[in-house]
Amino acid sequence: MEINQKNTKMARRLELLRHLSNLPGWRTSKRYIIFESDDWGAIRMASNEVYMRLKSKGLKPHDDDEDRYLSNDCLASEEDLYSLFSVLVKFRDTLGNHPVFTAFALPANPDFEKIAENRFQNYFYEPFTKTLKRYGKTHENSFSMWKEGIKKKIFIPQFHGREHLNVVSWLKALRMNEIDTVNSFYEQVYGITPRTPVNHITYQSAFNIETLDELQYLKEVISEGLLLFEELFN
């Protein structure tokens, strides 16, 4: 009971700090509807077929929320983007502007082939545009549609990190041959919760750390991610 009370107090304290951190931010008396959407460019689940294969090998979602993501969260196809943009251009505000999606974007994904060749000793990444090409015909023109959405000012990417992956923890689990992590790796998937995690850090928590020694690496991740983002989106 005492532990639960401490955890509750800590959670409330963190929630208060989050609110306080927003006080110096921009303020307005006007009312806006904001369309923000997370994790564009990141791979979470390759396909429904892959998800079913992983479940047949024993992968179990951590909770209903994770199951929802694993069942639906994948790279946006040309059809997905066409459907979204078709809706956005139907509407305008009083000034004639279309609604705008702010797409929190990650410009890179793991290069699974190079990582496997290196036997999980080092990490390699690829631009998400290369990932799109690997997904075949349904995605090969997706990046052109991204750029068309930017040109029409209905789809604006914003830097959200280099990739949505805690590289240090993920590689550690792969080297330790954690079964769910390895099975998912060979399906080109990383965003799962393994049955036997190597630490308390989830793979999706890209900027969480175990030791302060990892901070220098995270600085490199951010710098490389920003350079790649600028290269892709000018």
Distance CA 158, CA 107 (A): 10
Distance CA 116, CA 124 (A): 10
Residues of the chain with pLDDT > 90, as a percent, come to 72
Number of domains forming the structure of the chain? 1
CA 193 to chain centre: 15
Q: Provide the 3-class DSSP secondary structure of residue 141.
A: coil
Domain assignment of residue 121, yes or no: yes
Structural domain including 107 reads 36-89+97-233
Amino acid at site 165: L
Domain assignment of residue 28, yes or no: no
> Token pair 């928590």 is at which residue?
205
Q: What's the length of the chain?
A: 234
pLDDT value at position 23?
85
Is the pLDDT at 7 greater than 80, yes or no? Answer: no
Residue 179, token pair as written in the block:
């079964």
pLDDT value at position 11?
76
pLDDT value at position 22?
82
For range 105-116, the mean pLDDT: 97
Of residues 78, 85, 73, the one with CA closest to residue 39:
73
Domain assignment of residue 4, yes or no: no
Residues 6+ apart with CB under 8 A from 142: 75, 76, 77, 78, 81, 132
Is the pLDDT at 1 greater than 70, yes or no? Answer: no
Distance CA 202, CA 50 (A): 21
pLDDT digits (tens, 9 = 90+) for 47-59: 899 999 999 999 9
pLDDT digits (tens, 9 = 90+) for 120-170: 999 999 999 999 999 988 999 999 999 999 999 999 999 999 999 999 999
Domain assignment of residue 140, yes or no: yes
What one-character-per-residue DSSP string does 168-210 give?
Answer: HHHHHHHHTT-HHHHHHHTTT------SS-SSS--TT-TT--S
Domain assignment of residue 157, yes or no: yes
pLDDT digits (tens, 9 = 90+) for 53-109: 999 999 988 888 888 988 888 999 999 999 999 999 999 999 999 999 999 999 999
pLDDT digits (tens, 9 = 90+) for 162-178: 999 999 999 999 999 99
> Token pair 């069942």 is at which residue?
71
Domain assignment of residue 198, yes or no: yes
Q: What is the mean pLDDT of the chain?
A: 92
Is the pLDDT at 3 greater than 70, yes or no? Answer: no
Residues of the chain with pLDDT > 70, as a percent, come to 97
C-beta of residue 193 within 8 angstroms of C-beta of residue 171: no
In DSSP terms, 110 is beta-bridged to 125
Of residues 78, 231, 83, 227, the one with CA closest to residue 143:
78
Distance CA 211, CA 108 (A): 24
Domain assignment of residue 27, yes or no: no
Domain assignment of residue 23, yes or no: no
C-beta of residue 160 within 8 angstroms of C-beta of residue 107: no
